[in-house]
């Protein structure tokens, strides 16, 4: 076996699998897959976004978090046009209409290209040109949309159709593209070829950087040449959380999601699930109350996260003690109100890879949604991270230039006796952390095979409502109706995230993509 890969689209998986077939390692595969995902999953991600990855190196036994998330623009004091292009767009999610902000002033400093190229240079084994080849070819020949991507494009169409240049990708004779239609990216193919030749400097000091700065300066954005030139990749050690007989490794730094999943796991460690029926009343009640308390703890983390020693205290027994008492009280019927949390972006994708040498990688990336325009003749689209309310709870454009934004993204690894056993991550805004948490519990506590652990029905507790995905036993749902305000779903839904993962099962690796978000997986012999 050369390796296994799981991601949110067959094109994405095929690109990574091709690198494994060419003798590349897990990093080569994840980088190739990430670049292709920007073409194959256009409603979810683009090349002007940012991300976080975790890499386990089998030669050293060490894990590194690569944080290439966005920073606040405005460094260098460069003067702009005096206008601010920052517009509100509403997306209809069925149950609610949610506002997003797009335009040049919604663009934060993008980190994806620098992060992927640095990851490849430091831990990959193939040249950048080789790893970019699948994306370049696909950009020219075109992506045939599947039903999942067509649905997502329809969902966020108010953003994707906002300007003529961007809308041209997603309309055919004044009709929105449908499943089976082909989207080509010839201008972006040219840019990717230049990236293969010149490396990431193209985006941070070179031709693309200059195009970004000129467009921002003339049309109402804040990103400067200083922002791009000084953008830095952060490499840090992960948070380590002992859980049962595993060690869970989670990102910290820019990842609010990693911190909150670590908090949830620490609450769960006090409660054995041995003998508990999966997705029975006892199991779901425990999950719901852990989710409630994690939501409450998130408020204090938002306030204190930038203080020295904040992470150590947040995950300390001294801080957890009160929440453990509250969890015990909640399970006996005495609950505290769940806070109202700001909405967070649903547009995220995840890729997990393991290779034959034991290297595993989990990578999640996102542009927020999309800033709503194409950067001239480059074919590049950019993020709208400054237009996401969840990233700016105190108000837009208030953070200091150069400050790292926070994200819910949380690529997670799991080790057992020092050996890599699992790589997992998810899209899905606030629900991504509960999707990851439940899949980990299914895999570790209930011993489910990976595919079953991902397919199992999920729950999500937020704003005093317990969401029950289709597949929960009706009798269990009936009992929960007496304890919570319950919203029953009739089927599986992307609302509950999309956990793409690889895992060691016995003496072999397996991969499983989450069908809720177009999941696809492949084993390369």
Instruction: Tell me how far apart the alpha carbons of residues 174 and 35 are, in angstroms, rounded to a whole number.
Output: 29
Q: Which two tokens stand for residue 127?
A: 């040249």
8 Å CB contact between 139 and 184? yes
Which is nearest to 191 in space by CA: 10, 71, 39? Answer: 39
Q: Is 457 left (phi over 0), alpha (psi -120 to 50) or beta?
A: beta
Q: Beta-carbon neighbour count of residue 136 at 10 Å?
A: 22
- Residue 281 Cα distances to 288, 328, 473, angstroms: 10, 16, 10
Q: Which residue has the tokens 């980990």?
A: 440
Instruction: Tell me how far apart the alpha carbons of residues 304 and 296 are, in angstroms, rounded to a whole number.
Output: 14
Q: Which residue has the tokens 């200091």?
A: 400
471-508 burial by CB neighbour count: b if 16+ within 10 A, else e? ebeeebeeebeeebebeebeebebbbbbbbbbbbeeee
Q: What are phi and psi of 382, to 5 degrees?
A: -125, 170
Helices marked H in 238-278? 256-268
Instruction: Tell me how far apart the alpha carbons of residues 143 and 322 are, in angstroms, rounded to a whole number.
Output: 52
Q: Which residue has the tokens 């072999």?
A: 508
Q: Beta-carbon neighbour count of residue 333 at 10 Å?
A: 7
Q: Is 340 a residue of the active site?
A: no
8 Å CB contact between 29 and 3? yes
8 Å CB contact between 48 and 38? no
Half-sphere exposure of residue 30: CA atoms within 13 angstroms, side-chain side: 40
Instruction: Tell me how far apart the alpha carbons of residues 272 and 506 are, in angstroms, rounded to a whole number.
Output: 24
Give burial (CB, 10 Å; 0-12/13-18/19+) of 358.
Answer: middle
Task: Collapse the DSSP code of 74 into the 3-class scheme (helix H, G, I; strand E, B; otherwise coil) and give the result.
Answer: coil
Q: Which of 348, 364, 381, 510 is catalytic?
A: 348
Active site residues: 348
């Amino acid at each position: 076996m050369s390796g296994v890969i799981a991601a949110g689209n067959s094109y994405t998986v095929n690109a990574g699998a091709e690198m494994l077939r060419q003798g590349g390692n897990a990093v080569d595969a994840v980088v190739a897959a990430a670049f292709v995902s920007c073409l194959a999953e256009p409603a979810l991600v683009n090349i002007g976004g940012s991300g976080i990855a975790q890499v386990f190196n089998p030669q050293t036994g060490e894990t590194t978090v690569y944080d290439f998330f966005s920073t606040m623009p405005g460094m260098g004091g460069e003067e702009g046009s005096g206008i601010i292009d920052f517009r509100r767009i509403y997306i209809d999610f069925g149950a609610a209409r949610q506002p997003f902000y797009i335009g040049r002033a919604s663009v934060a400093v993008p980190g994806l290209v620098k992060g992927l190229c640095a990851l490849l240079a430091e831990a990959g084994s193939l040249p950048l040109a080789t790893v970019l080849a699948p994306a370049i070819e696909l950009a020219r020949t075109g992506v045939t949309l599947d039903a999942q991507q067509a649905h997502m494009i329809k969902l966020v169409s108010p953003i994707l159709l906002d300007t003529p240049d961007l809308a041209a990708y997603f309309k055919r004779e004044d009709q929105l593209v449908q499943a089976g239609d082909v989207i080509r990216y010839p201008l972006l193919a040219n840019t990717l070829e230049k990236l293969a030749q010149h490396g990431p400097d193209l985006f941070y000091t070179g031709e693309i950087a200059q195009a970004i700065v000129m467009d921002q300066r003339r049309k109402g954005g804040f990103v400067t040449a200083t922002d791009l030139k000084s953008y830095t990749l952060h490499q840090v050690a992960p948070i380590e959380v002992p859980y049962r007989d595993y060690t869970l490794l989670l990102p910290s730094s820019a990842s609010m999601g990693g911190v909150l999943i670590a908090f949830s796991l620490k609450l769960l460690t006090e409660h054995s699930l041995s003998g508990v029926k999966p997705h029975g009343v006892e199991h779901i009640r425990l999950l719901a109350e852990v989710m409630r308390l994690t939501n409450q703890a998130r408020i204090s983390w938002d306030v204190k996260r930038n203080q020295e020693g904040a992470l150590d205290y947040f995950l300390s027994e001294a801080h957890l003690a009160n929440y453990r008492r509250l969890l015990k009280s909640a399970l006996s019927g005495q609950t505290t109100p769940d806070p109202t949390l700001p909405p967070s972006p649903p547009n995220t994708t995840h890729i997990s890879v393991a290779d034959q040498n034991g290297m595993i990688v989990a990578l999640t990336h996102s542009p927020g949604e999309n800033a709503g325009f194409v950067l001239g003749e480059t074919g590049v689209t950019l993020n709208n991270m400054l237009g996401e309310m969840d990233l700016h709870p105190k108000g837009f454009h208030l953070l200091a230039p150069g400050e790292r934004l926070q994200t819910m993204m949380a690529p997670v690894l799991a080790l057992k006796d020092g050996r890599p056993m699992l790589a997992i991550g998810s899209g899905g805004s606030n629900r991504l952390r509960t999707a990851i948490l439940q899949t980990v519990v299914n895999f570790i506590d209930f011993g489910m095979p990976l595919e079953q652990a991902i397919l199992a029905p999920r729950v999500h507790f937020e704003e005093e409502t317990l969401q029950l995905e289709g597949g929960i036993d009706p009798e269990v749902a009936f009992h929960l109706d007496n304890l919570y305000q319950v919203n029953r779903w009739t089927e599986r839904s992307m609302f509950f995230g999309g956990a793409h993962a690889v895992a060691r099962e016995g003496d072999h690796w397996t991969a499983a993509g989450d069908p809720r978000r177009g999941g696809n997986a492949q084993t390369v012999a």
